[in-house]
Amino acid sequence: MADRGRHDLPTEQDYGFPAGLWRRVGRRRPPGVPSERAWRSPLRGPWLTAVLGSVLLVGLPVVVVTGLLSYIAYGAAPRPGDVGFLHLPFFDWPTSPSWSYRLSQGLHVGLGLMLVPVVLAKLWSVIPRLFAWPPVRSVAQLLERLSLGLLVGSILFELATGVLNIQYDYVFGFSFYTAHYWGAWVFTFAFLVHVPIKLPVMRRSLRSRSLRTELRTPLAATVPESVESDLVAVDPAPATLSRRGALAVVGGGALLVGLASTGETIGGFMRRVSVLSVRGRVPGGGPNDFQVNRTAVSARITDEQVGDGWRLTLTGGGLVVELNRAELLAMEQHTAVLPIACVEGWSSTQTWTGVRLRDLAGLAKVPAPRAAVVTSLEIKGSFNRAPLQSHQVLAGDSLLALKVNGTELSRDHGYPARVIVPALPGVHNTKWVTSIAFVGA
Ligand SMILES: Nc1nc2c(c(=O)[nH]1)N[C@H]1C(S)=C(S)[C@@H](COP(=O)(O)O)O[C@H]1N2
Ligand SMILES: [Mo]
């Protein structure tokens, strides 16, 4: 095999199929399938593919693991939806340190977005293989290509659903949570098949050129990689970009995406330039000027609902307790500095003041609840009710917040009262709370 030119037709050994038949298929490239001469970029080659691949080899597992951690942080209910046998064993997501979900989900979304340009570049680098003809040469290769189909399909699906979920409200005709979760497992499976197959060639290719030399090579000296590979152009065009230029474009793209999407978390000037970071924006400044996930107007909260007639209803140990806002303010107040960390990746740390949830549980005569269900004034929408686990109710910093940064909560941030629990995914920090039902042990 070694003495055979790479563009010769393969032999019977290569195919593992009746060679005569395959050879005939091989000669008949259907219309629309570009010939290998059509791929002319002199940058394509195993080294470039391996460099991009090694970035993904390190980055994508972090995105997957933090994604699965997010699933666990949600706790048992009510989301993600029904994931069948792929259900992960739960451990109780700890309430300390309070920044754990902020870090984990920030990594998930931030790194996931930053890897988009890298994934696209990696796919670009191997695109000639998509059109290889004949499409398969052996049973082993057929299996490999099927696993590649799963790999590419699932990564594109995960990136697309992830990005859509951040940028738009629920645009799917299916459950984002369930689909993104299942997609993650398909990806994980295909990744675990792909990596061991490709690791040897990746290591060999990385050694075939020196990154330092490459970073010093200008456009004028950029020529195709000099190795036998189906990725190297048969009929290369002159270079219009050096290899270091290509890496700078991809790396710069990743950095830009990162900067543009993490501004809400970093705050200050970055918040203003972060065009990708969030959907909504609060005009003006002040203690309540931090990201609003959903405004009171869009949640259809009325003046009447949050006026003097507002009451907090606590249920549990067989009695119903009603409190107005003055009564809540007369209870012992506790202050905690806690982040809101949204599943969409942004987070924002504020100083919250209010009544401890465990004090409210005590009032409802369920001092050691097994769980609690918090209900919002908001009628429609899937966020009008959220579960809390026992340890989340009992944590010393878990609050029904009445104030933020020393002033009244703004209506957009949940006035008259909202839940804030350390390390709890943002979505469960219910705003405009109307009742809390404590579930006894
Ligand atoms: N009632 C209600 N509570 C809610 C929401 C909502 O839409 N309705 N959004 C949740 C989500 S997804 C997040 S990230 C936080 C955001 O809180 P903030 O808008 O005060 O920053 O509120 C949570 N509480
Ligand atoms: Mo959120």
Residue of the CA atom closest to atom 15 of ligand 1: 426
Is residue 10's pLDDT more than 60?
A: no
Mean pLDDT highest for which of 166-170, 185-189, 284-288? 185-189
345 lines ligand 1 (CB under 6 A): no
Scan for tokens 């500095």, then name that residue: 337
Handedness of CA 119, 120, 125, 129 (dihedral sign): positive
- Tell me the per-residue pLDDT of 371-383, one tens digit each, with 9 for 90 and over: 999 999 998 777 8
Atom of ligand 1 nearest to the CA of 293: 19
48 lines ligand 1 (CB under 6 A): no
To test the pocket of ligand 1, the residue of 293, 374, 385 to mutate (highest count of ligand atoms within 8 Å of its CB) is 293
- C-beta of residue 351 within 8 angstroms of C-beta of residue 335: yes
Is residue 267's pLDDT more than 70?
A: no
Could you give the CA distance from residue 169 to residue 282 in angstroms, rounded to a whole number?
A: 18
Ligand 2 center–CA 86 separation, angstroms: 24
Instruction: Give the number of the ligand closest to the Cα of residue 344.
Output: 2
- C-beta of residue 331 within 8 angstroms of C-beta of residue 359: yes
Atom of ligand 1 nearest to the CA of 414: 20
Residue 434: half-sphere exposure toward Cβ, Cα within 13 Å: 13
Ligand 2 center–CA 345 separation, angstroms: 8
Could you give the CA distance from residue 132 to residue 135 in angstroms, rounded to a whole number?
A: 5
Residue of the CA atom closest to atom 8 of ligand 1: 383
Residue of the CA atom closest to atom 24 of ligand 1: 430
pLDDT value of residue 74: 85
Average pLDDT over residues 92-120: 95
Average pLDDT over residues 24-47: 90
Provide CB contacts within 8 A for 316, sequence distance 6+. Answer: 361, 364, 365, 366, 369, 437, 438, 439, 440
Q: What percent of the chain clears pLDDT 90, i.e. is strictly above it?
A: 67
310 lines ligand 1 (CB under 6 A): no
Average pLDDT over residues 200-225: 97
Residue 32 DSSP code = T
- Token digits of residue 144: 């490999």
Mean pLDDT highest for which of 29-33, 150-154, 340-344? 150-154
Residue 147 DSSP code = H
Angstrom CA distances, 373 to 241, 364, 383, stand at: 58, 13, 12
What is the number of other CB atoms lying within 10 angstroms of the CB of residue 4?
Answer: 11
Is residue 172's pLDDT more than 90?
A: no
Average pLDDT over residues 262-285: 60
Burial class (CB in 10 A: 0-12, 13-18, 19+), 284: exposed
Q: E strand or H helix at 23, and its extent?
A: helix 19-27
Ligand 1 center–CA 293 separation, angstroms: 5
Scan for tokens 């997609």, then name that residue: 183
Could you give the CA distance from residue 294 to residue 277 in angstroms, rounded to a whole number?
A: 15
pLDDT value of residue 316: 94
Average pLDDT over residues 381-401: 93
To test the pocket of ligand 1, the residue of 102, 169, 383 to mutate (highest count of ligand atoms within 8 Å of its CB) is 383
- Tell me the per-residue pLDDT of 65-92, one tens digit each, with 9 for 90 and over: 999 999 889 875 545 556 666 777 778 8
Is residue 1's pLDDT more than 50?
A: no
- Token digits of residue 145: 């290509």
